[in-house]
Amino acid sequence: MQKIPKSADLDLPVIARATPGFSGADLANLVNVAALHAAKTGLKEVGMRSMEYARDRIMMGAERKSAAISERSRRLTAYHEGGHALVALYTDGADPVHKATIVPRGLSLGMVTQLPDEDLVNMSRRQMLARLDVAMGGRVAEELIFGPDDVTTGASSDLRMATSLARAMVTKYGMSERLGQVALDYDDSHSMSSETRAAVEDEVRKLVQGAYERAKTVLTKHERDLHRLAAELLEKETLSGEQIKTMLGVRVVEAAAAAVNAVGKREGSSGGTTAAGAM
């Protein structure tokens, strides 16, 4: 990175948080891709725009500029990603929204990127519940706007992530009141009785269903914001977290304050999110 001319807007801590798990070789590749992007776009220095491009290309694949995406699919994607973003904005414990896009990449039609304010060493139950809520936001938005019979397969990765996280909460982190403070080897069929396995699955369903219900409450309450955000995504295709918050105004701040006041009630519930799903 020292040999690359850097723009004043280059924020290395943000890049570090946006590339968890990257090896030294991965980071070197990131810088090379960013430098190539800067050169191709006529920039003399590497800035955040080129770094964002490089990160997205490496993690999500190249932009599919020639992809024939129908207008209906674009609308579905805009509402799906808007649902993720809004639930993240209005949910206490959720990582801040960094970017929302409906630009197709790899196998994805869009994505919402969240970045924690600081490096995460451990996660609280509240943060995990928030990740579950955000994961369900896309499916809920589709159902709310287009109806239950027109939800798509776009939420499949969200559902897998939510199920995996909920199962980890129950079997690894002792976050189930029913099963208690125990660690269970779910993958070992010999160490767990059929009754315990059924109890685990029941707790997982409760956690995911609880996240679905909370996401539905948020998006029903803020449906007007969902329409505004989807329309803006359809027009601009990519929005930063700051652009989204500016567009929605002070209501996000007010909602966050209200969410903090509701933490006690929320953490006391036994039932039932950072990447939010790429559709």
pLDDT per position as a tens digit, 32-91: 888 888 888 888 888 888 888 888 788 777 777 666 789 999 999 999 999 999 999 999
Pairing of the two strands 275-276 and 111-114: antiparallel
Of the candidates 173, 172, 176, the one whose C-alpha atom is nearest the C-alpha of residue 187 is 172
pLDDT in tens, 89-102: 999 999 999 999 99
pLDDT at position 268, please? 40
Q: Which of 52, 63, 81, 213 is catalytic?
A: 81
Where are the domain boundaries for CATH 1.10.8.60 in the chain?
A: 12-60
pLDDT at position 34, please? 87
pLDDT in tens, 4-22: 788 888 888 888 877 877 8
Among 3.40.30.10, 3.30.230.70, 1.20.58.760, 1.10.1040.10, name the CATH number for the domain at 76-276. 1.20.58.760
Alpha-carbon gap, residue 137 to 277, rounded angstroms: 9
pLDDT at position 226, please? 97
56 Cβ contact partners less than 8 Å away, ≥ 6 residues apart: 101, 105
- Active-site annotation holds for 81: yes
- The CATH fold of domain 12-60: Helicase, Ruva Protein; domain 3 (1.10.8)
Where are the domain boundaries for CATH 1.20.58.760 in the chain?
A: 76-276
